[in-house]
Structure 1
Amino acid sequence: MKNIISLLFLAMAWNLIPTKVSAQKKGDPMFQVPLGIASYTFRNQWKNGVPETLDIIQSIGFKEYEGGAPQGVDPADFKKMLADRGISIPSTGTGFEALESDPQAVADKAKELGAKYVMCAWIPHKRGAFSKEDADRAIKAFNEGGKVLKENGITFKYHVHGYEFQPYGKGTLFDYLVENTNPAYVSLQMDVMWTHFGGGDPVALLKKYGDRWVSLHLKDFRKGAPKDMTGLTGHENDVPLGNGELDIPGILRESNKIGIKHMFIEDESEKELQNLPKSIQYLRELRY
């Protein structure tokens, strides 16, 4: 009950923050887009009931949801359940193999939810050994699948997961992937924690690739925890925003310059209901 009361308080306070991206001046909030949530955050809650979980999401103040319908729930019904709570679904996800084998089916599922973006968060590869061959497979699937999605009015985006920063040429395999995908068909979503975890610099990469980035996953990483290029780490290393190693103010500043309009908090810890109020409070207090 204490957690729910805290979330309700934050929801009311959040309504004081403007959601339109515009020229910033001193004292303006750094977080200037609708409050979004990534569905994985609530993976432990669905078993308690879908309406009950959506009530929690609404009580926190989230206005955008990225993900699909929970297992066993009709997408159209799920879309209505969210809409009844004032929440839209701008973006959903797909597995790599589904995109590769039948992008039209991926587009059809996205349209059922009303999503305008489809995100893929993982490229198949041997753990810790992402290779040029893996990148080439992804480039083909992303260009071809992204074209089909665009023809259906949907933007495809690849969700960076950290393992792509293997050195290659004068840069990394991430650079190779970006440079060889068609900007007309392939956009990018930065998961700021996984980017950092794999050795990338979120602020520098936002600057480098500009409007290829269309959305963010916001999360923070425990100070001093070990990092590598597996794209995998323990849940205990996911901490509330502002409590870890990430330069969240710098990331928000650069994202606002680019004009990113969708940012989704993703809490991968096992304490999501305790951590979310802390993350939201931190975002609410950040000012230029």
Structure 2
Amino acid sequence: MCGDLPEQQHSRRTFLNVATAALTVGAAAVALPGTASAAAARQRVPVDKISIQLYSLRSLLQNDPEGTLSALADIGYRKVELAGTYGRSATEFRAILDRNHIKASSTHVGIDGDLNQVIADAKVLGNRSVVVPYANFGTIAEWEAFAGRMNTAAVAFKKAGLALGYHNHDHEFAPIGGVVPYDVLTAKTDKRLVHLEIDLFWAVNGGADPVELFRRNYPRVTQYHVKDRTADGQMVDPGAGVINFPRIFAASCHNIGEYIVEHDQPADPLNTAKVGFEYLRTVRF
């Protein structure tokens, strides 16, 4: 099983040793599918690290949060990532989570509103991390200013016992005047305070290699959004596309705390939830 390394072992040397071995395994699995994959795959995603972004189920949660969360619990989920509370207060939504024995370890929320309220709600909901879900600016100067706001907010969140992260789409990898916004964001935010939640679909869609992103930003990448992509760029459920998740997971599993299933526009949200959970539960690398 692939678990977290102790904090004191998070070093570049540790990364290079683990990642080099993992990439060798990943490369073998790609080069020799079938028997080679079976022989090399020795690790799995721990069930307690599997989560789902509730945005994927927003059409169901709006009308029936109790039934939807109960269905997720029946699938096997014990963690979720929030994107709002669907007309309920933080206290009300926490009660529904508790009744279904589910923890909301993470939440998507912006930082430009009332941070005191965001922090208060996150504490009630039991969040450990707060993640900015989206930002988009037309100039590098604006990205730099946003990074400064992230740093300021991160200090407030840390004082409250919460981690602050950033979730990417694909536009962050499109250069502006020859400069890549994601590089600016990672360079200008405090690596000790702001972690990275890499959305694997959007990273690949933007032309980035998730393994390289992980390597370059080690050990800041602690969460993955796991959604798949067809060769022509269509979003599909995990395991139904061409993204090489075993390669990505093998290179990074020692540092990832949550593997979060997501699909932005699922035809059948609960089926996506089930397919995603089963994929992560059974994938080997």
TM range (shorter): 0.7 to 0.9
Q: Measure the CA separation in 1 of the matches of 2:126 and 2:155.
A: 19
Matched with 1:79 is 94
Matched, 1:145 2:136: no
Residue 214 to residue 20, structure 1, CA distance change in 2 (3 Å): closer
Matched with 1:262 is 258
Q: Measure the CA separation in 2 of the matches of 1:39 and 1:110.
A: 15
1:53 counterpart (68, 74, 79): 68
Residue 184 to residue 169, structure 1, CA distance change in 2 (3 Å): farther
Matched with 1:13 is none
Residue 251 to residue 27, structure 1, CA distance change in 2 (3 Å): closer
Matched with 2:282 is 285
Matched with 2:187 is 179
Matched with 1:62 is 77
**Is the 1:189–1:214 contact (alpha carbons within 8 Å) kept by the matching residues of 2?**
yes
Q: Measure the CA separation in 1 of the matches of 2:91 and 2:203.
A: 33
Identity value in percent: 25
**Is the 1:104–1:149 contact (alpha carbons within 8 Å) kept by the matching residues of 2?**
no
Matched, 1:213 2:227: no
Residue 81 to residue 202, structure 1, CA distance change in 2 (3 Å): same
**Is the 2:47–2:281 contact (alpha carbons within 8 Å) kept by the matching residues of 1?**
no
Q: Measure the CA separation in 2 of the matches of 1:50 and 1:279.
A: 20
Q: Measure the CA separation in 2 of the matches of 1:105 and 1:161.
A: 26
Matches within 5 A, 1:4-83: 20-21=3-4, 28-34=42-48, 35-83=50-98
Matched with 2:205 is 197
**Is the 1:63–1:87 contact (alpha carbons within 8 Å) kept by the matching residues of 2?**
yes
Q: Measure the CA separation in 2 of the matches of 1:150 and 1:103.
A: 12
- Root-mean-square deviation (Å): 2.4
Q: How high is the TM-score relative to the length of structure 1?
A: 0.79
Q: Provide, for residues 214-257 of structure 1, a one-character-per-residue CA deviation record: whole Å limited to 9, x for no partner.
A: 211110012213xxxxxxxxxxx221212213111111112213
Amino acid at match of 1:54: L
Structure 1: runs of 5+ lacking an equivalent: 1-17, 226-236
Residue 136 to residue 249, structure 1, CA distance change in 2 (3 Å): same
**Secondary structure in 2 matching 1:199:** coil
Structure 2: runs of 5+ lacking an equivalent: 6-17, 23-38
Matched with 1:110 is 122
Residue 101 to residue 140, structure 1, CA distance change in 2 (3 Å): farther
Question: Could you say which structure has the greater relative contact order, defined with CA pairs below 8 angstroms and 6 or more residues apart?
Answer: 2
Q: Measure the CA separation in 2 of the matches of 1:251 and 1:210.
A: 14
Amino acid at match of 1:254: A
Shift of 1:37: 0.8
**Secondary structure in 2 matching 1:242:** coil
Amino acid at match of 2:263: D
Q: Measure the CA separation in 1 of the matches of 2:82 and 2:2.
A: 21
Q: Provide, for residues 178-232 of structure 1, a one-character-per-residue CA deviation record: whole Å limited to 9, x for no partner.
A: 011112221111011111111211111011111111211110012213xxxxxxx
Amino acid at match of 1:262: E
Shift of 1:71: 2.4
Amino acid at match of 1:241: P
Shift of 1:90: 1.0
Matched with 2:26 is none
Q: Provide, for residues 96-154 of structure 1, a one-character-per-residue CA deviation record: whole Å limited to 9, x for no partner.
A: xxx134322221221111111001111143xxxx4302312211210111111111111
**Secondary structure in 2 matching 1:105:** helix
Shift of 1:48: 4.0
The size of the alignment, in residue pairs, is: 252
